[in-house]
């Protein structure tokens, strides 16, 4: 099926059909009357079947079944057409994108096969008395005019009446081109090509072995970019996004487990990037969190990635028995000399020392230090061992006295 973007390309096909149909009516007055019926919306949906185009046509409060009879093309004719289209990259791209190629409108480009039948090959039939006699009537003429308009946007109906669907024709061409390169897609008159057609050709081409190159020493193209016009992202933003995409791709290729990364963590990731703080007010409005909370989550992201950001907002839910075992490990640790270890809100806290560890979504323990009254700030040193995470919290506490 063709889209509206191919209407111009189908003009030769439409013109050829209009001429053949006009000649087939042999000067009958029904040609003009049928045009008026069509313009008044008398023709219902057109049905294409091998050898015929049919539709219900309503005139003078009566509905008649009008039919245009066309000869089907032979198998040899279809093979000839497919062979000629296989040598036309534009036609191949159209077919692979499930569009009827404009080349079929011109027998010279279609291996001498005319999709539009000659005038003497078009015959008429209708449920009205005139149509029963095999002559062109007002209703079949209206159908012919409707076909003219329909061909401009849906050329596949004529293919169907001639005995083959556009999909079947595409399959014929695809078989002829097995393991061959369809060539370069030519540009339109305005110098452009359709993205879906380019993709169709690329998907059909035989796979090539990737070049053996070392990507690490290559200078990223983003380093030479200039800032695009507002509101486009800055060149530096593009560089950061490119680097982030490269890091994620490298992690996938090296089978590194992906940490919990949802929309909120991704927002914090952007805020934690250079100059990301400029977006803090917008992020606060979007997430419903305060700027203070988001700032703390940015610190957590820098120390522990997405899981660190989530742990800053709230401790991950783990079984109470796991919390108790971790607390016991801390009590037995030499690092705990003073204070009382408490378990509250899913975290393990030593209020006297001003340190705390929280379980994260990544299965690690994330250290925190008391910043102000009931305000905890993330610290570096997240790890699987709760005792080691606790020691990291104490080191951070010693390096940063309690804020007043």
| Element of type H or E holding 358 | strand 355-359
> How far, in Å, are 230, 236, 237, 239, 240 from residue 233 at the CA level?
7, 8, 6, 10, 11
Residue 200 confidence (pLDDT): 55
pLDDT tier for residue 154 given thresholds of 50, 70 and 90: confident
Domain ranges of the chain: 4-204, 221-313, 320-399
What is the pLDDT averaged over residues 334-363?
A: 83
Residue 106 confidence (pLDDT): 66
pLDDT tier for residue 258 given thresholds of 50, 70 and 90: low
| Interatomic CA distance for residues 174 and 14, integer angstroms | 26
Average pLDDT of the residues of the chain: 80
Residue 400 has pLDDT above 80, yes or no: no
Short-list 116, 121, 91, CA closest to 103: 91
| Interatomic CA distance for residues 255 and 76, integer angstroms | 54
- Reading across the β-sheet that carries 365-372, which strands appear in turn? 341-344, 347-350, 355-359, 365-372, 375-378
Residue 380 confidence (pLDDT): 92
Residue 223 confidence (pLDDT): 60
pLDDT by residue (tens digit) across 166-204? 788 888 877 776 655 555 555 555 555 556 555 555 555
Residue 78 confidence (pLDDT): 85
Cβ–Cβ < 8 Å for 381, 401:
no
pLDDT by residue (tens digit) across 65-84? 999 999 998 888 888 888 88
For 40-128, where are the alpha helices, taking DSSP H only?
75-86, 89-96
């Amino acid at each position: 099926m063709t889209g509206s973007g191919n209407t111009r390309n189908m003009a030769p096909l439409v013109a050829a059909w209009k001429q053949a149909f006009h000649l087939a009516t042999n000067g009958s007055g029904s040609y003009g009357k049928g045009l008026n019926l069509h313009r008044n919306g008398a023709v219902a949906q057109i049905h294409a079947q091998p050898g015929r185009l049919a539709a219900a046509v309503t005139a003078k409060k009566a509905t008649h079944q009008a039919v245009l009879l066309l000869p089907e093309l032979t198998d040899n004719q279809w093979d000839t057409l497919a062979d000629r289209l296989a040598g036309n990259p534009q036609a191949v791209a159209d077919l692979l994108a499930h569009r009827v190629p404009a080349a079929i409108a011109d027998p010279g480009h279609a291996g001498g096969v005319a999709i539009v039948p000659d005038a003497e090959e078009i015959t008429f039939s209708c449920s009205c008395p005139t149509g029963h006699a095999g002559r062109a009537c007002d209703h079949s003429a209206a159908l012919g005019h409707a076909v003219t308009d329909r061909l401009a946007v849906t050329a596949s109906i004529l293919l169907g009446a001639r005995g083959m669907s556009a999909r079947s024709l595409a399959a014929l061409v695809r078989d002829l081109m097995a393991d061959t390169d369809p060539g370069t897609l030519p540009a339109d008159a305005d110098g452009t090509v359709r993205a879906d057609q380019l993709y169709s050709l690329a998907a059909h081409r035989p796979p090539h072995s990737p070049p053996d190159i070392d990507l690490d020493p290559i200078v990223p193209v983003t380093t030479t970019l200039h800032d695009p016009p507002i509101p486009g992202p800055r060149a530096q933003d593009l560089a950061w996004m490119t680097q982030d995409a490269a890091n994620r791709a490298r992690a996938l290729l090296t089978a590194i487990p992906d940490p919990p990364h949802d929309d909120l963590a991704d927002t914090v990731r952007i805020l934690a990037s250079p100059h990301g703080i400029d977006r803090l007010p917008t992020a606060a409005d979007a997430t419903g969190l305060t700027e203070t909370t988001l700032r703390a989550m940015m610190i957590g992201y820098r120390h522990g990635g997405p899981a660190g950001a989530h742990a800053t907002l709230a401790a991950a839910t783990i079984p109470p028995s796991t919390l108790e075992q971790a607390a016991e490990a801390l009590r037995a640790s030499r690092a705990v000399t003073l204070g009382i270890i408490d378990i509250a809100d899913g975290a393990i806290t030593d209020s006297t020392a001003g340190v705390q560890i929280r379980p994260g979504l990544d299965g690690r323990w994330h250290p925190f230090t008391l910043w102000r009254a009931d305000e905890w700030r993330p610290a570096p040193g997240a790890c699987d061992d709760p005792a080691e995470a606790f020691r990291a919290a104490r080191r951070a506490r010693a390096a940063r006295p309690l804020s007043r």
